[in-house]
Amino acid sequence: MDAATLSELRKPRAYPAVSVLMPTERRAPRRRQDPIRLRNLLAEARRRLHSDPRVDPDVADEVMHNLERAAAAADPAHAEGLALFAAPGGEHHAFAVDQPVDQRVIVDTTFATRDLIAASTRTSRYWLLALSDHETRLWDGRGGELTEVVRHGFPATPEPVDEERVGRQSPRGLHDGDERHRQYLREIVARLEAVLVRDRRPVVVAGVVRRQALFDELAGTRVTVAGRIDGSHETTPPSTLARLARPVLDAYEDLREVAVLAELETARRLHRYAAGLDEVVRLVEEGRGEHLIVERGYYAPAVRSGEELVPFEGVPGVLRGADVVDDVVDNVIETTLEYGGEVTFVSDGFLVDHDRIALVTRF
């Protein structure tokens, strides 16, 4: 999912905007439980809409019709989670999520996009670049599956060799063969950067060590390299490449989480740190959030009291009433992004010393 789609989904809607999040099973026989789970969640959404005094019965029926259209369009067979959104005016969306989601129904003035945001920032989505002197290939990595990219100049092949020039030296002392490979990799870097402009993800680089070194020199800091797979992989099957990439990505994710803790400690020393939902909510709504770090499984319903939100312990849906916000953590995530901040999701329990949510402030 690209940033433009996420941005559009985060915009406020007319009440009620309904979000249905559901974990899915990829393998039989447990996969047969998915339709039953989905019917139960749709029934819960219907009950909530028709019991809400703010929702006209005709509007409730319309939104449910939109939600059922989203459910009919969903294809959970190759995903770990499903996100369905519906709102008045015929709006409906269905998305497969490349990571597990917690089951819940949320009714608010915005869609619950945190799982989509988390999936877009995790290394379950990555690019794999298989460097080769003959044909460099780019793969779209999503979870354990790789799909070859056949656009944006990929696969890339070098210019034909001019046999008369082989062995000559350039004015810089480089043999023409070396210069030809340098130019070839320079073009690959340019094509990869064009892909990253549209969809920035970490990159796993596969190839022999000398080509990886030259790639690093030419790419510099413009490409986020998650890790490397050594060796020639021009003809390696995608299933094997995905298996080789998994430990590389796991190590990258571990390093990212450790780096987050170091960033929080630095922010604390600079007095640009906040932790706990009450303080984080206030600072984010003031537009001061530079980097929000939150545990993936942290949810908190809240009640509006005047201009303030009062959080409560529990899962979305436990509180009912006109002033209830199903998940204030989701609101904080969306507000941080609206003000141009960054959001990082970490494992549950990782922020035990930071009350499960922490913020690096701009000032």
pLDDT digits (tens, 9 = 90+) for 20-62: 999 998 666 666 788 999 999 999 999 999 999 999 999 999 9
Q: Which of 70-84, 124-138, 326-340 has the lowest mean pLDDT?
A: 70-84
Residue 358: beta bridge partners? 275, 293
Question: How do residues 263-291 score in pLDDT, each as one tens digit?
Answer: 999 999 999 999 999 999 999 999 999 99
Distances (CA, A) of 74 to 85, 101, 102, 343, 344: 11, 15, 17, 27, 27
Query: Is the pLDDT assigned to residue 74 strictly greater than 90?
Result: no
Please answer whether residues 126 and 202 qualify as being in contact, where contact means their C-beta atoms are separated by less than 8 angstroms.
yes
Please state the rounded mean pLDDT for residues 301-326. 69
Instruction: Please report, rounded to a whole number, the percentage of residues in the chain having pLDDT higher than 90.
Output: 66
Residue 19 has pLDDT above 50, yes or no: yes
Q: How far is CA 354 from CA 40, 52, 104, 263, 351, in A?
A: 36, 36, 25, 13, 5
- Residue 255 to residue 357: CA distance in whole angstroms: 19
More confident residue, 78 or 143: 143
Supply the DSSP symbol for 110: S
Range with top average pLDDT, 165-179, 198-212, 309-323: 198-212
Phi, psi of 175 (to 5 degrees): -70, 150
Residues 248, 170 contacting (CB under 8 angstroms): no
For residue 117, what are the contacts with CB-CB under 8 A and spacing of at least 6?
6, 333, 337, 343, 345
DSSP structural state of residue 36: H
**The pLDDT of residue 84:** 97
Please state whether the predicted TM-score (pTM) of the whole model is above 0.85: no
- More confident call, 1 vs 56: 56
pLDDT at position 173 is 46
pLDDT at 120: 77
Q: Which segments of 121-224 are extended strands (E)?
A: 125-130, 137-142, 145-148, 203-207
Q: What is d(CA 318, CA 102) in angstroms, rounded to the nearest whole number? A: 15
User: Which residue type is seen at 133?
Assistant: D
On the question of pLDDT at 324 being above 90, the answer is no
Q: Give me the residue label for tokens 């059922």.
A: 68
| Amino acid occupying residue 163 | E
pLDDT at position 172 over 50 = no
- CA-to-CA separations, 181 to 73, 215, 223, 261, in angstroms, rounded: 47, 10, 19, 41
Query: What would the mean pLDDT of 309-315 be, rounded to a whole number?
Result: 68
Arithmetic mean of pLDDT over the chain: 88
Residues 248-252 have a mean pLDDT of 91
pLDDT at 206 over 50: yes
**Nearest-angstrom CA–CA distance, 172 and 234:** 30
CA–CA distance, 25 with 216 (Å, rounded to integer): 39
Long-range residue pairs from 66-70, CB within 8 A, at least 24 positions apart, any chain:
66/90, 66/91, 66/92, 67/18, 67/20, 67/42, 67/92, 68/42, 70/94
Question: Looking at residue 162, what is its pLDDT?
Answer: 56
Tell me: the pLDDT tens digits for 149-160? Answer: 999 999 999 877
Would you place residue 191 in the very low, low, confident or very high pLDDT band (cuts 50, 70, 90)?
very high
Q: CA–CA separation, 87 vs 108, rounded Å?
A: 10
pLDDT greater at residue 204 or residue 143 = 204
pLDDT in tens, 94-141: 999 878 899 999 999 999 999 999 887 765 689 999 999 899 999 999
pLDDT tier, 174 (very low <50, low <70, confident <90, very high otherwise) = very low
| Residue 357 predicted with pLDDT over 70 | yes
Cβ-count burial of 228 within 10 angstroms (0-12 exposed, 13-18 middle, 19+ buried)? middle
